[in-house]
Amino acid sequence: MARGKKHKLSESYVGGNVVNEHGSKNAKTQQPAKLEAKDIYYEEDGLQRVYPYYHRFATHAKGRWVGRTIFDVFSKEFRDRTKEYYEASIEKGIIELNAQKVTKDTVVRNGDMVTHFIHRHEPPVTTEPLRVVRETEDGLLVVDKPGSIPVHPTGRYNYNTVTNILQIKHGYAALYPINRLDRLTSGLLLVGLNPTVAHKVERQLVEHKVQKEYVCKVKGEFPDGKIKCSQPIRVIAHKLALNCVDPKEGKPSETEFEKLFSEDGYSVVYCRPKTGRTHQIRVHLQFLGFPIANDPLYNNVEVWGDDMGKSGALPQTTSDPKEEEEKPEPEPEQAIERPRKMVGKCDSSQKNDAWRVLVKRMENWKDRQDMMEHINDCVGEKGPGKCDKCSTPMLPDPKPSELSIWLHAWRYSGSDWTYETPLPEWAAKAADHIDRVKYCPEKA
């Protein structure tokens, strides 16, 4: 767990304005110089980190805020921080109305611009560099993305993202990401350097004119031969990034798999998705009974139960004994045994029950992870580990095994182009087998 360091990014840069240690600003007379990579990133304990910094969040007052004090709005509408934090932030001037310092009792009025300069702590990512595979004359950038780095700013990630790293460390200007890769997935990423080439390749993807080839590592002996999974997929909970097979309401999805080799209880598998649903390869492998071996979401018994989602099996209990004890006994007409297979969840009430249990198990698991992080942080050798500026708990560093999963986007091919990346270390032996299964236009 790395500590926040005193640095120009964390000490003076606030949303494009210079801010002193007391939080006062003078945007008209003090403009910061353009920040360089050394001002933003540093490496420590084998991870790429970002110096903590202030980030400007601004929004016009919502209707329900009008007539309330600024302190009441923040303490009741934004409960991720304590009342003491908001009280101190108003006093320091990092919460303001219409670019003016306020007091706790200042009343929010219709049309007010509410601004919060929040002190952000980004999660660290791998130190493995982004590798540029190719840059074409018409403006297509092909990148080999390491696991752990999101493609674009999202959630707690801003500077530690592909787009910002390419701009800050590699000097690229406008970027237009074309294909999606999950944060934990490594491999080939297509980025447009102009909207024309980005739109062109995006259309090829939409029209299924681009062949996508991945490799993954699953637990167990994957069957021989070509295996096709055509189970529809739907998003169950957007905020939890939870997806599942749903034959009734899922979107059409298709992936072909073929084992490359097996060793020490694992199989390295070639994957060729024909559609592009979120988490498609991960969900289809789980349905087949071979989830990616180190997938924290789809190979998680605490979330999916003993059947681990194989053939669409869903857990029937929330995995929390207290919650099960508190449930009222069902009425006689409701006490009907529900099938465990998702294919049996065709009527809406049963389907909702199934999703509700699954989502609750996911929430319970995430709560337990957060609690363990808090406990480990508080009992660690470095003490309680809170930021001296915003009292944000300093979360423990991710373990190397938590930075990526064994899923790699290996090769993409269009009508007149093909780009590929080196195979990752865990799939290095696949080089001896992949020629027999890889996509060949003349054989298509």
pTM: 0.80
For the question of residue 182 being annotated catalytic, the response is yes
Residue 325 clears pLDDT 80, i.e. is over it: no
The number of angstroms, rounded, from the C-alpha of 312 to the middle of its chain's C-alpha atoms is: 24
| Residues 6 or more apart in contact with residue 444 via CB below 8 angstroms | 211
**If residue 426 lies in a helix (H) or strand (E), which one and from where to where?**
none
CA 359, CA 31: separation in Å to the nearest integer? 47
Span 221-238, pLDDT tens digits: 999 999 999 999 998 877
Beta bridge partners of residue 143, listed in sequence order:
132, 189
Q: For residue 336, name the pLDDT band (cuts at 50, 70, 90).
A: very low
| CA 151 to each of CA 145, 183, 420: distance values in angstroms, whole numbers, following the listed order | 9, 7, 18
Q: What pLDDT sits at residue 159?
A: 96
Side-chain half-sphere of 85: how many Cα atoms within 13 Å? Answer: 20
Span 63-77, pLDDT tens digits: 999 999 999 999 999
Structure tokens at 379: 């009992």
The number of angstroms, rounded, from the C-alpha of 388 to the middle of its chain's C-alpha atoms is: 27
Choosing from 39, 112, 138, 182, the catalytic residue is: 182
Span 129-175, pLDDT tens digits: 999 999 999 999 999 999 999 999 988 899 999 999 999 999 999 99
As a dihedral over the C-alpha atoms of residue 194, residue 195, residue 196, residue 199, rounded to 10 degrees, the angle is 130
Residue 332 clears pLDDT 90, i.e. is over it: no
